[in-house]
Amino acid sequence: MFKKRLITILLSLYLIPGFAQNADSVSVVKTRWQKTKIARQVKLFRHHFNKNNLFGANENISFIEVENSGRKAVFALGAEEKELIKTSDFGKREAAIVALNGNFFDVKDGGSVDYVRVNGKVTNTNRLDKNNNRAKHQQAAVVIEKGKIAIKKWDGTADWETKLREENVLLNGPLLTYNEQNENLDTTSFTRLRHPRTCLGIKPNGRVILLTVDGRNENSAGLSLPELTKLMNWLGCTSAINFDGGGSTTLWIEGMPDNGVINYPTDNKKWDHNGERKVANVVLVKKK
């Protein structure tokens, strides 16, 4: 009798994670997202999972979906070599309709710590560690050419980014999924703990998702990188790349309430739209 009971308990413990994951995926896929048309080929999707019903927590998710045709809506980069600027101010300055915070930067002295090229001009180069090794966020990139965006994976060479032919290059990461294959993630606290996250994903039909997940608040816990990978998979992305997150996570849309800030940035430690952090660069969507 004891043996049968033990087998039952072990089997249930084995099945619970799979059941939970399946429930989470169903929850995302069947969610009735609040949809708003922003422009031709650009839509906003929002939902607040506020019943501890995604990964066992509350999660506030906002994302833009853009047809990646380079016609009615086009992608671009906005960047400063040293100065830090709010995502919303980048968006306004660049006459964009959408702005999403970009890659990692020097909070004290300004400027990206990763390679950035805008319209053919290099504004920043990689800051390597003391052993001349790349960080995980220097092992992938988003590239833009003629208004269309793509994700590229580091080929292992020292000067990889300089050989990329696109006029606009933004190193970022870590890469989560590439051509339908999930990448191996490390086990650092940055990876396994929940934080606000910013992410870009590409679907098989070519559509691009620019996504924020809020965090560090009882209203939204944030995600670990494995959880973020699952979310992007469930949203249909076959390639996805993590951006700088935490207090930097910001999605801005022209003409929307609250100065256009859609999510709940955390730098003021309040659940409102006023806690933007200044950043070094952004990914933009513009009307053509």
Do 44 and 259 form a contact (C-beta atoms < 8 A)? no
Task: Name which of 89, 85, 143 is nearest 119 in CA terms.
Answer: 143
The two three-digit tokens of residue 114, written as one number: 């990763």
- Rounded to whole angstroms, how far apart are CA atoms 116 and 118? 7
Give the predicted TM-score (pTM) of the model.
0.92
- Rounded to whole angstroms, how far apart are CA atoms 15 and 273? 40
Pairing of strands 57-66, 42-54: antiparallel
User: What is residue 248's three-state secondary structure?
Assistant: helix
What angle is formed at CA 81 by the lines to CA 78 and CA 85, rounded to 5 degrees?
A: 55
| Helices marked H in the chain | 2-29, 87-93, 160-163, 189-192, 225-234
Residues with Cβ within 8 Å of 61's Cβ and at least 6 positions away in sequence, in order, are 46, 47, 48, 49, 211, 212, 213, 214, 231
Compute and round to an integer the Cα radius of gyration of the chain: 19
Q: What is the DSSP letter of 218?
A: T
Residues with Cβ within 8 Å of 51's Cβ and at least 6 positions away in sequence, in order, are 58
The two three-digit tokens of residue 210, written as one number: 């620019």
Q: Please give the backbone phi and psi of residue 41, each rounded to the nearest 5 degrees, phi first.
A: 70, 15
Q: Residue 22: its pLDDT value, please?
A: 77
The two three-digit tokens of residue 26, written as one number: 């169903």
- Rounded to whole angstroms, how far apart are CA atoms 190 and 171? 18
Strands (E), 55-196: 57-66, 73-79, 85-86, 98-101, 116-118, 121-124, 140-145, 148-153, 168-171, 175-178, 181-182
Average pLDDT per block of 10 residues along the chain, 288 residues long? 44 46 83 96 98 96 97 97 98 98 96 98 96 95 98 97 98 98 96 98 96 98 98 97 98 97 97 98 96
User: What is residue 81's three-state secondary structure?
Assistant: coil
Cis check for the bond before 174: say yes or no (omega within 30 of 0): yes
